[in-house]
Structure 1
Amino acid sequence: MGIPSYYRFLCQKNKKIITNDYYLNGKVVLCFDFNCIVYYCLSKMPEYDENNNEAYEKELISEVTKYVEHVYISAKKPSEVFIAVDGVVPMAKMKQQRMRRFKGLFMEPYEIEAGVRNIRKKSWDKNSITPGTLFMKKLDVALKELCARHSGWSVSGYNDPGEGEHKVMNYIREYESNNTFLIYGLDADLILLSMLQSTKQNLFLMREVMEFNSVVLDDNDKTQFLYLNIHSLNNELFHSTKEEYIQDYIMMMSLLGNDFLPHSLSLTIKDNGYTILFNNLKEFHKQKKFLVENKLIRWDMLKEFINMFVAQEAQLIEHRCKKKSQMYSYKGKTEYEQKMAQTILMPCKWFVEKEFYDNGLKQDWEDTYYKKFLNDDKNACIEQYLKGLQWILDYYNGNVIEYDWYYPHMETPLWKDIYTYLCNDTIGKERFIYEIALPLKPEQQLVLVLPIESFHLISNEKYKSFPSRFPQYYPSKFSVHTLGKKFIYESESNIPILPSKFIRKMLV
């Protein structure tokens, strides 16, 4: 779900949820949300030699399969293993992937200027770890061979649509109750997805032991692992494992932003937003009120919930603007930190919030916010945002979704305006009718998410020519969106959205 530091945040707040082992209950199945393993093994690879790309990729694939075996042995060799490789994803996720991949290009000259990137050394193109590339095809063959050597192992490859973590959840849903599932993965939304499945199954998330941002090794230089007990997490958060509490929690977390909806200017997980929302949610539940019923958002209850914190909105925005305006004074202690500070803190240097903040929120700040940063009818923005909330809930529950849907803005409407809208309008599920469409093909997704500098990864000549036909979607120069962002890694590329509907139409 793209929630920064969420795993670490939960562990610090709820220390009992982490164990050195897992307990058995029925059959034990090990599931891999796989792509993070590729990135992890890539980080351990020797320096890239562009003249020997094939050998480099062969070694990387070998390291990946070895690491899968290591995780399997560390998990005590469960009787069943399921490897879920990322396939083609919904448009809302593709939009996020596209902006992230383009941002790497934006950052390159700044990192070179700051001295944190070596201009003479060419690195392996990480965009190769995208469905449809030759590298992923070779990796797919290796994983199928690996599974063939083990009884009870299976793989869902890049040709099967869906994010890895959602493939894992669909796999778990096929099982009867009371089995033990170990899920290897580093993505924060795995926690939320696992919480939804934990009412029927015994779930543990498995990940490397980390200290000071480095993986801890044992005496044999092997990676050590910890287990996050999802059942214990539910009890720590709610003192209950009932599904209605978990559904509400998923809904609440969407209000903090994720891969599909931006966070608001007033509430982020790093600036006490989680605490504000969670404390209000607990108070809400004390009154026997719930945001979600039968996996549908109750808009009347959402209105009441927003009303619990809406009065703080302007004050919270003002506080965050003030805090950001003061951050650029940080210069770093070491030479490396000083270089990195020039790059990382660029959003504070640019401080686009000056449009509506000057030692306090300007009188017309709300109008400026909508005019400068949303560029749309206020009610239309609100309706798109509310549809997004229900879409996310459907997506995480494994329900039918609108594959081509995406939120078209960089910012959210203000809470006060969402509250007013909900006071004046009755929203039913019928307001958000989904248009059903098939997923894109893997190479079609490549055209959508890759910057032109990575089009060498596409083998289809017709697809390769797409940027020359529609150059407006592949700008060589663009800015990044930094409103509400303190660090450059939080920012997003200001590039045209390339809808999956358009790709499907033009690349038949």
Structure 2
Amino acid sequence: MGVPAFFRWLSRKYPSIIVNCVEEKPKECNGVKIPVDASKPNPNDVEFDNLYLDMNGIIHPCTHPEDKPAPKNEDEMMVAIFEYIDRLFSIVRPRRLLYMAIDGVAPRAKMNQQRSRRFRASKEGMEAAVEKQRVREEILAKGGFLPPEEIKERFDSNCITPGTEFMDNLAKCLRYYIADRLNNDPGWKNLTVILSDASAPGEGEHKIMDYIRRQRAQPNHDPNTHHCLCGADADLIMLGLATHEPNFTIIREEFKPNKPKPCGLCNQFGHEVKDCEGLPREKKGKHDELADSLPCAEGEFIFLRLNVLREYLERELTMASLPFTFDVERSIDDWVFMCFFVGNDFLPHLPSLEIRENAIDRLVNIYKNVVHKTGGYLTESGYVNLQRVQMIMLAVGEVEDSIFKKRKDDEDSFRRRQKEKRKRMKRDQPAFTPSGILTPHALGSRNSPGSQVASNPRQAAYEMRMQNNSSPSISPNTSFTSDGSPSPIGGIKRKAEDSDSEPEPEDNVRLWEAGWKQRYYKNKFDVDAADEKFRRKVVQSYVEGLCWVLRYYYQGCASWKWYYPFHYAPFASDFEGIADMPSDFEKGTKPFKPLEQLMGVFPAASGNFLPPSWRKLMSDPDSSIIDFYPEDFAIDLNGKKYAWQGVALLPFVDERRLRAALEEVYPDLTPEETRRNSLGGDVLFVGKHHPLHDFILELYQTGSTEPVDVPPELCHGIQGKFSLDEEAVLPDQIVCSPVPMLRDLTQNTVVSINFKDPQFAEDYIFKAVMLPGARKPAAVLKPSDWEKSSNGRQWKPQLGFNRDRRPVHLDQAAFRTLGHVMPRGSGTGIYSNAAPPPATYQGNLYRPLLRGQAQIPKLMSNMRPQDSWRGPPPLFQQQRFDRGVGAEPLLPWNRMLQTQNAAFQPNQYQMLAGPGGYPPRRDDRGGRQGYPREGRKYPLPPPSGRYNWN
């Protein structure tokens, strides 16, 4: 979904929805890899029934990863996809169903966004290739060192689109993979597997939701099925809430910013192509055995628990004194609908609503404030009440002017802070950077030039002597870096900053100034703001889009032909009179065919994936549709800073003209291209131990040509229709491997068959309610979750899915061990590039008081001054305390302080003393203070009475 910061905002606002996955890793024995046994209980203390894979979220990172070298060929890509699925399967371990969904032909509303992405990807790829070649030539001209350029064709990620040979080959590979796992993996033994490849129309995640909706409407459906959906798109959260299933979890790879990426020229980490200097690669390990190892660890997975998110939303959306009955399910539907205003894949977000400015919170507050005027909910089972939505939008429109002014003030304030920061850095940074063997380097940087010298100075000295002996012609004014390569002894002159501030993007609209609406419509739509007819047309198209998107999420695709025909959205203040606008869509529409979609979303540079006569329409100047494929196009930053945030101003494809042009080239298709251009369906696989196995074999033996109902009692309540598959996987037939490095399956027992979901009338409405018999999971959040403390007891969150998991308690020794072993912040260990933390041992002053314990600063006197820390910490002199008649009896803790010289006791002269409650220490070198007043900052360990020197 088109909300890049949505997940980050959601996880920060509702932190308990996130749970780290417990993953069991494969083991090795005598060089043989032992896979994980997924038939064993799930180590995450939860058992999932169904696992759904949005395959495009797996295909893209496996074919062109950002944090490691890309696979060399298509076969390696397929193996990487198989390994990724294996890893996900070992974490989730579904017991009933595995559903793999690849993006098929998308609705026209989504094709516009796909077109923009693919044109951008092609343009950026060509620019990156030109820049890479330019930098390579400059480095080689200066005598730099670069590895030889590999002669290989650049992988065009645009091929991950329905209708290409790559997607057809991927479907074949996944059929083989499923058959192999059902034959050999015990975790797949009784599993039902459904594959919906790119020939089946619809986006992957929406094909999954359509399957869940249709199964929920069947009488044999289990309302307590535990679903797990894999994908990183933000819209999966909305789709999961829209199902109203009580047990729904999303698994996704944890996003870690600033992951190291290898340079595209030298394959080294720490810089980009534009900053590459062609330096020799440092030896990694004693014999360079770590040359191919990556500095980053394998990505980790997290669970997003939608049942916990439902608890958060129920508390936030609950309202008192309502004029109607409160329904949490309807409130969640309204919350999902309001999220569409800040962005989605089908509509641009409103100019006044930004997710980073807490736009959703603003909408929720307005929603709760005007609920007494609206008199009910905004939506019902995917249908919108426009009269109530109008009240919300006009309330937002009343504060639009203040929103734009505050945004400008915040941006100016941020720029000022950044400018001051750059000035401080420039002032503190030396203009001359020395180099050589004695150059100081930051500790903890494993890739720093001095890391090897510090670890083996003798080896470094030996290598320098050998270098001198073998290179007598080197100038005496030359020093050597840590790897033995010569460098100017004088050092390297730091490049001066071109300017103190980055260039600001041009903004002709200036929303923070008066007249912003007139300028907006003039610059973005090239019409006058006084043109009420045009403004109403834009608003009507946007309102239609809101209705289409909500129905798409709750009922399925309302129209395959509808799309929003503008690049920009209207203002919230323009939503007047929308209650009377029609929101009906044309019925009986059909999706594009795969090759037709390629013609609608591909640039001319990706025409090699199309038949020859078809690609000619993209480049021939005499083509009737040549205007659909501009070689260059403008990108409107629209007030943003980076090009990827801008709006690609591409012409919209006219479907009528496109189809007319394609009619002339359809006869040129080969039989293979005709097959790839046809729409397909889903395929179901089962192994020999599955109850459906014999039933499906009997269908093939009888040769039935009519669709047959699926017996739900044999398939965990799944219902639908079976029909024979011409390319079926059948028992006792060899399953040939499409990947040369993988073996054929000579003893196959798996069977496959075409599967079709239950069908309903076009006007059927799937009810957005929780099904009868559904049991809500036990509440995870407690009242203390909102207050973070209760009755003096610290709040303890639930970690993982198990409420009865016993927490582990560590003593001081364990905390110190972790402090030395575990990295802090973004560093690589205890000696990271972070500033030293403040003092750990700051005395009992910072320890939490026990119940009934009183403050006792009057019992303490000042400490004896000491000159050094050679022995135990200084002990306090205890004052005599004359107790009169009726005095309060001493508590045990106070009595101990009066009878023993305990370490780390509070000091009544804290303000005059040092950071730990002691006077500032003077060291032995000139009386300078040995410790700064601000002290160290690493966290205080838990209290313990073990350290008491006498």
What interval of TM-score do these two structures reach, taking the shorter chain for normalisation?
0.7 to 0.9
Which position in structure 1 is the counterpart of 2:508? 354
| Residue equivalent to 2:159 | 128
Counterpart CA distance in 2 for 1:244 and 1:23 is: 31
Equivalent AA in structure 2 for residue 72 of structure 1? F
Q: Give, in whole Å, the separation in 2 of the partners of 1:163 and 1:118.
A: 40
In the alignment, what sits opposite 1:231? 307
Q: 1:311: which partner in 2?
A: 398
Deviation string 1:356-391 (CA, Å, 9 cap, x unpaired) is 45xx4143x322221221246111111101100000
Matched, 1:271 2:337: no
Deviation at 1:487, TM superposition (A): 2.6
1:369 pairs with 2:520: yes
Shift of 1:138: 1.0
Deviates more, 1:157-166 or 1:230-239: 230-239
**Pairing 1:421–2:438 present:** no
CA apart distance, 1:503? 3.1
TM-score (norm 2): 0.47
> Counterpart of 1:251 in structure 2: which amino acid?
F
**Which of 40, 46, 57 is the aligned partner of 2:74?**
57
Q: Residue 643 of structure 2 corresponds to which residue in structure 1?
A: 488
When residues 320 and 411 of structure 1 are mapped into structure 2, their CA distance, relative to the original with a 3 A threshold, is: farther
Cα deviation 1:158-214 (Å, max 9, x = unaligned): 0001111101111222142110111110010000000111x2351100012344455
Structure 2 partner of 1:85: 102
Tell me which of 95, 112, 120 is aligned to 1:95: 112
- Counterparts of 1:22-171 in structure 2, within 5 Å, are 24=46, 28-41=49-62, 42-43=64-65, 47=69, 56-107=73-124, 123-149=154-180, 150=182, 151-171=191-211
**Which residue of the partner structure matches residue 52 of structure 1?**
none
Distance 2:400 2:237 in 1: 28
- 1:103 CA displacement: 1.9
Contact 1:87 1:161 in 2 (8 A): yes
Change (3 A) 1:44 1:114: closer
Shifted more, 365-374 versus 81-90: the winner is: 365-374
Name the residue aligned to 1:301.
Answer: 388
Contact 2:101/2:207, CA 8 A, preserved across alignment: yes
1:223, distance to aligned residue in structure 2 (A) = 4.5
CA distance in 2, matches of 1:158, 1:379: 38
How far apart, in 1, do the equivalents of 2:135 and 2:657 lie? 38
Distance 1:129 1:399, change over 3 A: closer
User: 1:313-342 CA deviation, whole Å, 9 max, x = no partner?
Assistant: 1222234356557877869889xxxx9x99
Structure 1 segments unaligned to the other structure (5+ residues): 50-54, 216-220
The residue identity in structure 1 corresponding to 2:173 is A
SS at match of 2:117: helix
Shift in alpha-carbon separation, 1:229–1:498, aligned structure 2, 3 A: same
**Secondary structure, aligned partner of 1:350:** coil
Alignment partners' CA distance in 1, 2:411 and 2:177: 49
Letter paired with 1:9:
W
Structure 2 Cα separation of the partners of residues 109 and 70 of structure 1: 34
The alpha-carbon deviation at position 88 of structure 1 amounts to 0.5
Report the equivalent of 1:209: 254
Contact 1:108 1:117 in 2 (8 A): no
Shift of 1:74: 1.4
The answer to whether the 8 A contact 1:184-1:205 is kept is yes
Letter in 1 for 2:551: D
**In structure 2, distance between residues paired with 1:417 and 1:72:** 49
Larger deviation, residues 370-379 vs 95-104: 370-379
Counterpart CA distance in 2 for 1:229 and 1:284 is 30
- Letter of the aligned partner of 1:361 in structure 2? E
Q: Which amino acid aligns with 2:157?
A: K
Q: Distance in 1 between matches of 2:581 and 2:176?
A: 51
Indicate conservation of the 8 Å contact 2:628/2:651, yes or no: yes
CA distance in 1, matches of 2:361, 2:134: 37
Which is higher, the Rg of structure 1 or of structure 2?
2
Q: Tell me by how many angstroms 1:307 deviates.
A: 2.8
CA shift, 1:64, in A, is 0.4
1:186 is matched with: 232
Deviation per residue, 1:38-81 (Å, 9 max, x gap): 112230696569xxxxx611111111011111110111353321
Does the aligned pair in 1 maintain the 2:104–2:200 contact within 8 Å?
yes
Deviation at 1:261, TM superposition (A): 0.8
Count of residues in Structure 1 that have an aligned counterpart in Structure 2: 479
Question: For residues 112 and 158 of structure 1, do their structure 2 counterparts lie closer, same or farther at Cα, with a shift above 3 Å needed?
Answer: closer
Structure 1 stretch 374-383 or stretch 278-287: which is displaced more?
Answer: 278-287
Q: What is the identity, as a one-letter code, of the residue corresponding to 1:270?
A: R
Aligned partner of 1:291 in structure 2 is: 378
Equivalence for 2:346: 260
Aligned residue for 1:10, secondary structure, equals helix
Give the Cα–Cα distance (whole angstroms) in 1 for the partners of residues 88 and 203 of structure 2.
21
- SS of alignment partner, residue 228 of structure 1: strand
Structure 1's 61 and 143: CA in aligned 2 closer, same or farther, altered over 3 A?
same
Stretches of structure 2 that go unaligned for 5 or more consecutive residues are: 22-43, 138-148, 183-190, 261-296, 319-326, 427-494, 528-533, 664-950
Corresponding residue for residue 478 of structure 1: 633
Query: C-alpha separation between the residues in 2 aligned to 1:452 and 1:327?
Result: 41
1:495 Cα offset (Å): 1.3
Residue number in structure 2 paired with 1:15: 15
1:252-292 deviation digits (Å, cap 9, x = unpaired): 01111211111122111122322211322344558763211
Distance 1:117 1:13 in 2: 46
CA distance in 1, matches of 2:136, 2:635: 22
2:210 match: secondary structure:
helix
More helix by share: 1
Retained in 2: the 8 A contact 1:186–1:207?
yes
1:411 maps to: 568
Q: Is the 8 A contact 1:284 1:290 kept in 2?
A: no
Measured in 2, the distance between the counterparts of 1:30 and 1:324 equals 43
Which secondary structure state, in structure 1, belongs to the residue aligned with residue 61 of structure 2?
helix
Which stretch has the larger CA shift, 180-189 or 282-291? 282-291
Partner of 2:250, secondary structure, is strand
In 2 relative to 1, CA 117–61 (structure 1 residues): closer, same or farther, beyond 3 Å?
farther
- Secondary structure of the structure 1 residue equivalent to 2:521: helix
Alignment partner of 2:540 out of 383, 406, 409: 383
Change (3 A) 1:269 1:46: closer
| Alpha-carbon separation, structure 1, partners of 2:644 and 2:410 | 18
Aligned partner of 2:636: which letter? H
Q: 1:281 aligns with which of 356, 367, 371?
A: 367
The 2-side partners of 1:192 and 1:504 are apart by 35
Question: Structure 1's 386 and 443: CA in aligned 2 closer, same or farther, altered over 3 A?
Answer: same
What is aligned with 2:602? Answer: 450
Q: Label 1:391 to 1:179 Cα distance change in 2 as closer, same or farther (>3 A).
A: same
Q: What are the Cα deviations for residues 97-151 of structure 1, in whole angstroms up to 9, with x where unaligned?
A: 1111212344457767987996887631111111111111111111111222324
Matches of 1:140 and 1:318 in 2, distance apart?
52
Distance of 1:268 and 1:445 partners within structure 2: 32
Q: Which moved more, 1:119-128 or 1:28-37?
A: 119-128
Distance 2:559 2:136 in 1: 43
Question: Which fold has the larger relative contact order, with Cα–Cα distance below 8 Å and residues 6 or more apart in sequence?
Answer: 1
The answer as to whether partners of 1:98 and 1:448 remain within 8 angstroms in 2 is yes
